[in-house]
Structure 1
């Protein structure tokens, strides 16, 4: 390893600041799913739909292969990321770690990688541009909330399982940093190659999910325009 290589950067935010950020992300998540994403006007009729309404309409149209993964990647996984982060921070703040704390951190690490709210936001914007010549589109409050949620979730990705374990270590709740977590650098060379191949497979899956996100956003506005 070369000298001067950055291995870890300490966060400037305190534990209370991260906790406040998670509460803010949860509030914005509720607003984004409560208010309509867009309003569509065509032939004198106006229709508005939230993300959950669009998911239900997509399912009713028979496109369950699009509706099911979109529900996971744009609703349940982001919500799980926020809730698991809030749970871990509350456990550290109360200085009481449950026996399944390390498994909760692993789940948080997985959910943070599969939260696709920014992909959804980009897909909706592209679909709105393409449908701009067919109908009058108005940006709803939910779309602005999704933009703010994308920023907050991007910031929350910096609060990884390793960082939370460091907070627990500084609080004297664990013996050493990284105990119970599996990192590729600590694995044997054969298993490390397997991990790297798995990472390449995950990149391919992310690309496939991104394509699904664009298809899903297009189906949303196509379905909404069909009901208008």
Structure 2
């Protein structure tokens, strides 16, 4: 994919405030550049650390909305169906994602931990997907943003580091390696749904050009 390195701009105290809207800062190394919109299919990258700063995609909004809808459906379905089935000594136990998240709720002191785990692997991914739909739907339809769209997108970005569905998947993989020698483990429908969910969330983040969204919201 073609890449364009943005030219650095030195920020000074006497720079007119209206020129600040044309600047973009690298989230990794804090280098400041004058933003230049690349063509469709091209990317603008940081010349210092090569972080992608601007990456517009054709019909990306519709794709992200479709992925977000799929994420919501998969999360709801994954919490209903069994995630794992464990058989040991003639006893079979089915466990769902919520069972795993609320495993510590039997102790009053650990209820907060159980709720935090449930939020990180279930509620935050759903909330981010719903916020993406709320923000992008009017932009895709060439209509003015919904009320509070800027705050909604800011909240979605704030929740991004705390949406840890992939961390839960890695933790399950490590646990299964240890449990496999002690019991017979079978994957339930929710396991495959959750695996697809992790992939879709990665695609959603990769398709999202945050610079383009902010630019559309601020018009």
TM-score (norm. length: structure 2): 0.69
Distance 1:130 1:163 in 2: 45
Residue 133 of structure 1 deviates from its aligned partner by 1.5
Tell me whether 1:164 sits opposite 2:213 in the alignment: yes
Tell me whether 1:28 sits opposite 2:77 in the alignment: no
Query: How many residues get paired?
Result: 170
Q: Which residue does the alignment assign to 2:198? A: 150
Q: Which has the higher contact order (CA 8 A, sep 6+)?
A: 1
Q: Which residue does the alignment assign to 1:81? A: 128
Q: Which residue does the alignment assign to 2:150? A: 102
Residue 16 of structure 1 deviates from its aligned partner by 1.9
Tell me whether 1:114 sits opposite 2:174 in the alignment: no
User: Which of 112, 115, 118 is the aligned partner of 1:71?
Assistant: 118
Distance 1:76 1:13 in 2: 27
Distance 1:164 1:68 in 2: 32
Distance 1:105 1:23 in 2: 16
Structure 1, unpaired ranges of 5+: 176-228
Q: Which residue does the alignment assign to 1:192? A: none
Residue 65 of structure 1 deviates from its aligned partner by 5.1
Report which of the two structures shows the higher radius of gyration computed on alpha carbons.
Answer: 2
TM-score (norm. length: structure 1): 0.66
Contact 1:41-1:137 at 8 Å conserved across structures: yes
Distance 2:147 2:54 in 1: 27
Q: Which residue does the alignment assign to 2:182? A: 134
Task: List 4+ stretches of structure 1 deviating above 6 A.
Answer: none
Distance 1:13 1:130 in 2: 44
Bigger helix share? 1
Distance 2:192 2:152 in 1: 31
Contact 2:86-2:92 at 8 Å conserved across structures: yes
Residue 7 of structure 1 deviates from its aligned partner by 4.0
Structure 2, unpaired ranges of 5+: 8-44
1:118-173 CA-partner distances (Å, limit 9, x unpaired): 0000101110111111111111111111111111111112325433224x26xxxx
Bigger strand share? 2
Name the SS for the 2:92 alignment partner. Answer: strand
Distance 1:161 1:8 in 2: 8
Query: Which stretch of structure 1 is more off in the superposition, 103-112 or 4-13?
Result: 4-13
Residues 139/107 of structure 1: CA separation in 2 closer, same or farther (3 Å cut): same
Residue 21 of structure 1 deviates from its aligned partner by 1.6
Distance 1:23 1:36 in 2: 22
Name the SS for the 1:28 alignment partner. Answer: helix
Q: Which residue does the alignment assign to 1:38? A: 84
Q: Which residue does the alignment assign to 1:9? A: 55
Distance 1:157 1:8 in 2: 13
